[in-house]
């Protein structure tokens, strides 16, 4: 009975993900994900991230090796997270007196915050912390990183921001390519970064073509397994999801038999689906994955 309940729950989640327009636009949602990546909910639940998934205050998102994540905020901004990153959504208020308010904390990894040019008129109050460095945003484009060697970097790409470590006076960055950094608890003077190095940094948060990334609206899918029993499907489904890949179970008919298909959907092209299939082949009980639209 427990297995059957899990199966119906998985099918229900797949159906809800296929019809995101039926639900009002969330304050924050996954736009694209280069797996593996997870969300850890405030109540302790953990699930792989998938396009269309809504995120809320208290959620912590995490990316794995060679992973990338693209989040879309309802006021028009995009948040990108590079590999082995951890981002905590401490506060999320989409309309407080006409102002979009959010507090995001980057505990590990590289991130980028970009405001859509057409949405820069929207009133927003977004604070982003990079480890113990806080950045106040009023609509701009910036890149930052919390490195494992206790180094924090915040680089302005467009607009203006105030940056400060706890107990220190805020520093204004108002010229493109200005950057602020702290090493081992010491704040360095504000500098200017070379365009080539900035382009290199920016690649750390960009979803790469041909890496099997899933995107909102993607119509291709990878069939990981077609099992004759729900128990067999659930075993692979559970392992794949535990490893950060957003698998779903789709019951189907094969002749006069019922089968249980374990799939990953939302792939935007055949090439991306094939890339994901190649990554998973021979792992987590996935023997011969197949691609279809």
Output the pLDDT for position 9: 45
CATH architecture of 214-292: 2-Layer Sandwich (3.30)
* Alpha-carbon gap, residue 193 to 40, rounded angstroms: 35
Residue 22: Cβ within 10 Å count: 7
- pLDDT one digit per residue (tens) for the chain, 293 residues: 444 444 444 444 444 444 444 446 799 999 999 999 999 998 889 999 999 999 999 999 999 999 999 999 998 899 999 999 999 999 999 887 888 999 999 999 999 999 865 555 667 888 999 998 998 876 689 999 999 889 999 999 998 899 999 899 999 999 999 999 999 999 999 999 999 999 999 999 999 899 999 999 999 999 999 999 999 999 999 999 999 999 999 999 988 899 999 999 999 999 999 999 999 999 999 999 999 99
Strand partners, 137: 126, 161
Q: What is the pLDDT of residue 96?
A: 78
Residue 267: per-residue pLDDT: 98
292 neighbors 270 (Cβ within 8 angstroms): no
What is the pLDDT, as a whole number, of residue 75? Answer: 87
Taking each helix axis from N to C end, the angle separating 230-242 and 2-18, rounded to the nearest 10 degrees, works out to 60
Burial class (CB in 10 A: 0-12, 13-18, 19+), 111: buried
Q: Where are the domains of the chain?
A: 67-203, 214-292
Predicted local confidence at residue 19, as pLDDT: 45
Assign a CATH topology to domain 67-203.
Jelly Rolls (2.60.120)
For 98, phi and psi rounded to 5 degrees? 85, 5
Per-residue pLDDT at 121: 63
Among residues 168, 178, 172, 171, which one has the least CA distance to residue 132?
Answer: 168
In a 13 Å sphere around the CA of 12, the CA atoms on its Cβ side amount to 6
CA–CA separation, 145 and 150 (whole Å): 10
Tell whether omega for the bond before 195 is within 30 degrees of 0, i.e. cis: no
């Amino acid at each position: 009975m427990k297995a059957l309940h899990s199966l119906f729950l998985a099918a229900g989640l797949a159906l809800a993900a296929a019809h995101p327009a039926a639900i009002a636009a969330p304050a924050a949602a996954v736009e694209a994900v280069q797996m593996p990546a997870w969300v850890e909910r405030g109540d302790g639940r953990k699930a792989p991230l998938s396009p269309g998934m809504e995120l809320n205050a208290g959620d912590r998102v995490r990316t794995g090796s060679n992973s990338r994540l693209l989040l879309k905020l309802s006021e028009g901004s995009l948040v990108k997270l590079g590999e082995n990153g951890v981002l905590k959504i401490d506060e999320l208020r989409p309309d407080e007196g006409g102002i979009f308010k959010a507090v995001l904390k980057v505990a590990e990894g590289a991130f980028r915050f970009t405001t859509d040019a057409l949405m820069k008129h929207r009133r927003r109050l977004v604070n982003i912390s990079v480890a113990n460095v806080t950045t106040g945003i009023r609509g701009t484009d910036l890149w930052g990183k919390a490195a494992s060697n206790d180094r924090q970097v915040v680089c302005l790409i467009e607009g203006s921001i105030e940056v400060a470590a706890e107990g220190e006076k805020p520093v204004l960055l108002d010229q493109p390519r200005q950057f602020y950094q702290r090493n081992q608890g010491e704040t360095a003077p504000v500098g200017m970064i070379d365009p080539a190095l900035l382009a290199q940094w920016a690649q750390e948060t960009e979803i790469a073509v041909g890496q099997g990334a899933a995107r909102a609206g993607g119509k291709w899918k990878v069939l990981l397994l077609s099992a004759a029993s729900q128990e067999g499907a659930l075993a692979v489904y559970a392992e794949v999801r535990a490893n950060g890949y957003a698998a779903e179970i789709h019951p189907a008919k094969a002749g006069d038999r019922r089968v249980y298909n374990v799939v990953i959907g939302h792939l935007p092209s055949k090439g991306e689906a094939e890339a994901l299939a190649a990554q998973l082949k021979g792992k987590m009980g996935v023997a011969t994955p197949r691609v279809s639209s």
